[in-house]
Structures are given as structure tokens and as C-alpha cells.
Amino acid sequence: MMVGGAHLPLIWNGDILLEHAIAGFIVLPFLCGSMWLMAIMRLALLVVFIAAPCLPPIAALPTRSGMTQHVAEAAHMYGSGGFAEVLAFRVQEVPVILPLHIFIFPRTVALMLFGASIWRGGLFRAGSGMSPYLPLAPGARIFTGGGLSVLLPTEWLPFDA
């Protein structure tokens, strides 16, 4: 968590170390709890994540024009600023990027709960009856992600492409 807390403003604002550390603390109590409770929480968080574009925002997301302006400022600063100026800009841009991290956080916790469920279910244990099916999981995710990527530019999904 400390490495992520330093890495986010100093190295890269898209860093996930801090977000994953916080999510890990949330998931930790579920590791010894009921598998049903983990499944319900995972499903609830995925529903929140999927429905988020239709719900009032928890934190104000940057507008398209605001992000365009920010990217232009970042390109100028990273291209011509010295170490102190770039560092000041990185620290100043954390509040701009933070809503994006907050928006994605329910998905992060849900995916960690999914991983914890797989671990608790013994899928990775040697001799598990499910281990022959393990290679199907990435293929299913790639197929799902590819399908969503194809649908995103169409009117089938309610999100902005």
C-alpha cells in the first residue's frame, strides 16, 4: 500500500497498486467467510460497476473536454518540464485521475472476490478435478471482451465509445 501510495503521484497516475491494496483489505474478511456471501457480494459489486454509467456518480468523472485539455497540458509538461515541474504536475493531477480509480473500484473488489472464490474452491490445487478446464477461463474472457469491443461502437450498449 505504501509503495502504491508513492507510485501513484510520483511514477504513474494509472497505477493500480494502491487500489489493489485497499481492495485486498476489503476482501480479506471474506476469505474465511461463507462462499455464498462472497458470491452475493461479488455479484452485487459487478452489478454496481455495470450500472454505474446509469447511476448518479460517486465522484464527478472528468468531462471529455476536460480530459482533452488535461492530456494537452500533460503532453506539454512531460515534454518540456523539468523534474520539479513534472513532479508538481503529477501531484496536481491525482485529483483529476482519482474519480476514474473510484469508478473502477467495485469491479476490482468483485474480481478479487472471484479470485478468492476460485482459490477457496481449490481450483489451483494439484489433482483438482477442475484443473483440466482451467485453460478455458482465459478463452472465455477473451471471447467476452472481444464481443464487448465489437458491440461498444454500436448502439447495443449504453456507453459512450
Percent of the chain with pLDDT over 70: 93
pLDDT at 161: 46
SS3 content of the chain, % helix, strand, coil (to 5): 75, 0, 25
What is the count of structural domains for the chain? Answer: 1
Report if residue 148 sits inside a domain: no
C-alpha to C-alpha distances, 152 to 42, 51, 116, 157, nearest whole angstrom: 24, 15, 30, 6
Average pLDDT over residues 123-136: 71
Report the mean per-residue pLDDT for the chain: 84
Is there a domain that residue 13 lies in?
Answer: yes
Q: Which of 88-97, 116-125, 126-135, 138-147 comes out lowest in average pLDDT?
A: 126-135
Residue 155 lies in a domain: no
The domain of 45 spans: 2-121
Task: Give, in order, the Cα–Cα distances in Å from 147 to each of 37, 72, 100.
Answer: 30, 32, 23
In a domain, 18, yes or no: yes
Would you say residue 68 lies in a domain?
A: yes
Residue 10 in any domain: the answer is yes
pLDDT over threshold 50, residue 10 = yes
Residue 109: pLDDT band (50, 70, 90) is very high
